[in-house]
Chains A and B, each alone.
Chain A
């Protein structure tokens, strides 16, 4: 039976900017269908005329042959009343309607494009902006949806005849590739000297400016390179002088640098790379992957020609045992790296903690004292996106910074969250991201950094406006952290008042737990779980600062079951930057000053403390001058680090003390695989709540220091002790409250020893453990938690 039908078909999902319409067109022709296809705000709209069963077959095939970057979520069919000409199947102009579609993230150069840029016979030979429907910039160049050339910064370049031909040719890989470009019609990249003098590329290369960059890097110069989501600063990672120069100019003392290598074989010379890690490196998101460094690599700088290993400068990641590697992800990178065998530092193009520059003039102004040369190009970066940072812990992906390659890919919400209002969550203060909820999905913004910096705050506001427009988001509820001084909370308040939107104040650690629950698809109205949240600090319900919490939690509510005994943070924020303050606070609370001096007076840490104005510090504690109480485990790590002599005076980047003490323990543990020695933590009930007391731990730790036990052993015993008490307490609380699931979250759970061991400990007891993977455990994931709690509360109140 042949029944001819006219149907209106809608395809939802990641279906724009991925070569979807061409696929539709091609398949339609195969199945002898007539009609047209276009993008609109909701996805892809197909009008089709043809045999009913052919239409069905066509749609089945479409599911199977969805382009690599695309993802079909849903297809709907309905009869179409209008007229369709039965002579052709065409791709028609996009039109706007309500935005419901998703926008693909930026994607690393695909193998076919890589081939072309190195083929002298290709018209893309050495063209730094080569891309196709399977690769290239997306989110970073978009102003508005639907994703079409005119709504991106590629709109400024009109296609040449050749490009036009490819764009229109359905057989071509670039059929309807919105950012198609070539030497003739597309953006250009060029080299400039930072001092403004003219460059003659032939001095460095017979080829072109990109090849000249290669020579410059090898000569030890610092080059600022405009990339996909912002500027980078690059220099030879094996050249001590160059790296040192970069550190000084960038005012970045010790914070590790990411390094780019031409291929995974080079990376494997420096690091252990598992299959899973290799997959991440070469994935289309192309993140920075933290890898365990090989210990044997020589740390001097002479090049060992025989091994063909260029030893890395010891200034790349001081005090760490992992390295952050990334592979080239744009044609420009590939061209620069063609002749380079050694790894190259590729760090964000900014000064200290600022957002990276995205604009040529801005970069010239801000980076000309840092870089010797610039690689500029004339395609505007619309959205600043940093490189993402991931790693593998316990055979599982852990995202530390979710940015380029991942955002703004939507995250599906757990069951129960389908009928929710549009929610906007403002995020935290550091490592800020914000989050939009709409249509059962969460869209998490890219990493926006520390909002206290004026430039970061500007970016935050701009990016927020962009997302609200892009996704046509009209928040019904705004969710903010309870901390009264967070700039994001203040901004949320302002927006709520100005637009008469209701506002939800979400406790920091509850948000961490909810983020973890959401990413693990715990359904709404599930029984409560035990959330273990360790972090730097967050504003607690009682006005003190929390950060070592055991909470019974659902999406709507939480109850604090246990915490670490609170300790004053002398000097407030100063105590975060100067770990000796936490050491002083912890030590005098554990043993008292007299006993410390009497028994341990000769220890280095006591010499440090004795040199401080103790009367003033004691006054601060006694009169509670800027010395808020905190149960933070992050600060406990600082205190232990300072006590054993790791950055006692000052840290030079956030989390440094904790990271370095973990590295110490890691080194010790991996060389003594069955290391189980540990310090003792006890628990006590105070004011009806269980408190973990670290006093016994301190006593033994000081004794060990006195007996000159190696730092690695002390660090390991501290980690092991923490693991034991967490497992013991968690087990106890699970029984007491009849809970079967435990969530680990908060920045401290970036510590892989802690995470791995508590996880195995609890799993051995039959307790179900959830933790983070695609969402960072740190404050980068906070906004997702805030959003989903606000949504849950809204549903309940309805």
Chain B
């Protein structure tokens, strides 16, 4: 059984480094140096219910999520690890599907899964399948992206529709997936980032808006750089279907998870160039400016509504819980 499972991953992820099957992956430093002067290193664990959903599965999520965490530092993602914990009784065909899509995702993104581990735990001690991936990338010389760099006057750009992943997952929990066909936006963003940096090496801050959504990232930006951020409700790219579902479920799309969306702030003068460049990339076709950075109300994110009023979009401590008494 264990061998079988190991085999599923090894055969799928087949590449020269992995095929050594040592206890560790090893690779030439000189090889890395050609891409830049600093390493980027990240890790993330993926748990999701359901494992399969329109637009992806836990495997694509585990690969693209870690790639994106590297990418938003400006790094070129190179190597990933993959550890899985699976609950006894998980169907082998499902596991195979996950492994296959991980390999496809890695290949598409030009990264290699170079080492990994599998553990099987007793039924009931884990929920079906957990995946952890860590990733290494290299940051090009001269690139310095940080949430602390934002300046008043900067503009805030997003690379497309918000809330698709979060909504798709919610819907997939019921038997409604077919009725609504909202797909997760799960996708790698490193080549889009490469394009952005090509026209604007002065990118101030960049983050992928995963859990907690756009609202959470913008709040992190505002607090880290001690600036105010104002976003325009009418500029927010939200799919009509997503808006509809949010309307019914009473959810705020600003807080919904995405798996292929990044927020980037650039100096005003670069905004147009960056937008054009982003729009020429498949992952950035719907890129647009959604707001700007201000001197006033540091640390606070405001939403200017369609009616012209301003609402505070704060960082949620827990879930979206009604506050009205």
Contacts and interface: CB of A to CB of B under 8 A. Distances in A.
Given A575-B250, A616-B248, A351 B309 contact: yes
Interface in A552-571: 569-571
B92 interface: no
Contacts of A634: 325
Contact of B312 (A351, A452, A622): A452
A340 B319 CA distance: 53
B245 A616 contact: yes
A454 B307 contact: no
A537 B251 CA distance: 19
B176 A569 contact: no
B324 A453 contact: no
Given A453-B312, A619-B174, A485 B249 contact: no
Contacts of B95: none
Contacts of A72: none
B307 A251 contact: yes
Contacts of B170: 623, 625
Contact of A453 (B176, B310, B321): B310
A535 B317 CA distance: 24
Given A454-B310, A454-B311, A455-B310, A619 B250 contact: no
Interface string B296-311: 0100101000011111
A187 to B, nearest CB: 29
B126 interface: no
Contacts of B321: 483-485, 539, 545, 572, 628
A720 interface: no
Contacts of A537: 322, 324-325
A613 interface: yes
A347 B322 CA distance: 28
B141 to A, nearest CB: 39
Contacts of B7: none
B250 A572 contact: yes
A428 interface: yes
B212 to A, nearest CB: 13
A354 B317 contact: no
A428 B322 CA distance: 13
A634 B302 CA distance: 30
Interface in A451-467: 451-455, 457-458
Interface size of B as a range: 20 to 34
Interface in B223-265: 245, 247-251
B324 A536 contact: yes
A623 B302 contact: no
B325 A430 contact: yes
B323 A573 contact: yes
Contact of B250 (A458, A573, A613): A573
Contacts of B179: 615
A351 B309 CA distance: 8
A328 to B, nearest CB: 31
B173 A619 contact: yes
A623 B173 contact: yes
Interface in A517-556: 535-539, 545, 547
Interface in B131-182: 170-171, 173-174, 176, 179
A538 B171 CA distance: 29
Contacts of B248: 571, 612-613, 616-617, 620
A317 B314 CA distance: 35
11 contacts: A251-B307, A351-B308, A352-B309, A430-B323, A454-B300, A486-B323, A536-B324, A545-B321, A573-B322, A616-B245, A617-B248
Interface of A: 251, 351-352, 354, 428-431, 451-455, 457-458, 483-487, 490, 508, 535-539, 545, 547, 569-576, 612-613, 615-617, 619-620, 622-623, 625-626, 628, 634, 654, 747, 778-779
User: Nearest 3 CB-CB pairs, A to B?
Assistant: A571-B250, A574-B250, A619-B174
